[in-house]
Structure 1
């Protein structure tokens, strides 16, 4: 097993400095982000509150009809812990007309519509709050294309984009993200019962290690196989990274 342990104190300083510097450079002093109740957005909120002060952060909850009640509750834990400003804006009435227009729309299409609607709301609130929109996507999601263009992938700056999911979890624990968020299965909560790892077909722990070898260490596919990864898994991940390159350019 590869050791993807990070220096959490150093990462915390780098990322809070990044948020403060880039927002200040753009002429702002505030940030807006979507707070889903998941780990990634919680960490982004903690870092933003530390970098900018809690009163300068607006965390927006945007539930859909099938969103888990735990998601709202877990987001509230973050809000209560940090004292950031907050809004709750349900998206059900916004997206249902399109869903009703296309009753055969599957979960993926519906999920993409919801992700894009949420980003519309965030950029609108960005204008009202006079703050830049922070992204919450991690390096694993970005490399795998597990993002929605003009949805969760749309932001003014993304402080988590160079952290693999397993590294993000380390930093989240270090900054004090509440335990229920650290323990819950990763999920975009786009439909009832959805989890990231079920949808992807592999665990973050496994794919992070493979991606680290492929991307950071520039291993060849054969070198990855020689390191203990299954041939099928290696080629599936390489193909997924390749075919989603368009989302990263």
Structure 2
């Protein structure tokens, strides 16, 4: 695919970019959630190269598939990434129980609560250690709104936001991310059997091709553009009302 940029060049650029922005903020490194997926593995690996031990990679299980935590540990061990565990299961259960009392029973509202608890945890650690929170969303996820507003989208830096999924895979291979993680089906881990591509009804290859070239089957194009239209509020700054009276 000719639209996939050179992995070594992209990785080196992002490392320099991270150092510049962290220094500009007067911080010492970054905090990132390590989910067991490829995007967070790449961000954590780049942070390790850029900042050494001045980083925090948090594994934050919350009714999660145990294999996801095992994969996160695999990444941390393979790439010598300092990794800590914050179990959010009990916190989630307590908050979800209170919300159910007022009628919030199931569905995306409770699933997205997991992402927002992880965001709050990352910011708590980052503030205490003079770190910046690094998000892991890639270009395809941002373009389609496939992220939790004020959850995984809440970050100080988004180093992968201009990278197609194929470019993330290429950078992962360049950085030595374990092959199991590169080949793993992307998932937000919100419920058993959930995958990104299954939930979106689109493959990342279709998304990459359309975003890079504008080329797609008519039904794929319409599905992508519909997701883009319906999620526009997620990408815009919060509107501020300025009364003209």
The two structures have a TM-score, normalised by structure 2, of: 0.90
Summarize the alignment of residues 166-185 of structure 1 with structure 2, pairs less than 5 Å apart.
Answer: 166-185=166-185
CA RMSD in angstroms comes to 1.4
Q: Which residue of structure 2 lines up, in the alignment, with residue 129 of structure 1?
A: 129
Q: Is this contact kept in 1: 2:134–2:159, CA < 8 A?
A: yes
Deviation at 1:98, TM superposition (A): 3.2
List alignment gaps of at least 5 residues for structure 1: 215-223
Report if the CA contact (8 A) 1:40-1:138 is conserved: yes
Q: Answer with 44-53 or 91-100: which moved more.
A: 91-100
Q: Give the SS at the match of 1:189.
A: coil
Corresponding residue to 1:234 among 221, 226, 229: 221
Q: Which residue of 1 aligns with 2:143?
A: 143
Tell me what 1:98 maps to. Answer: 95
Question: How do 1:146-161 and structure 2 match up within 5 A?
Answer: 146-161=146-161
Equivalent in the alignment of 1:58:
56
3-state secondary structure, aligned to 2:193: coil
User: Are the equivalent residues in 1 in contact too, given 2:57–2:83 (CA < 8 A)?
Assistant: yes
Shift of 1:104: 5.8
Q: Deviations over 1:55-88 (max 9, x none)?
A: 11110000012x1111111111121123332221
| Whole-angstrom distance in 2 between the partners of 1:162 and 1:5 | 11
Q: The residue matched to 1:58 in structure 2 has which SS?
A: strand
CA distance in 1, matches of 2:59, 2:227: 30
Aligned residues: 233
Equivalences for residues 21-40 of structure 1 within 5 A = 21-40=20-39
Kept after mapping to 1: 8 A contact 2:79/2:176: no
TM-score by length of 1: 0.89
- Could you say what secondary structure the match of 1:16 adopts? helix
Name 2:205's counterpart in structure 1.
Answer: 205
Moved over 6 A (4+): none
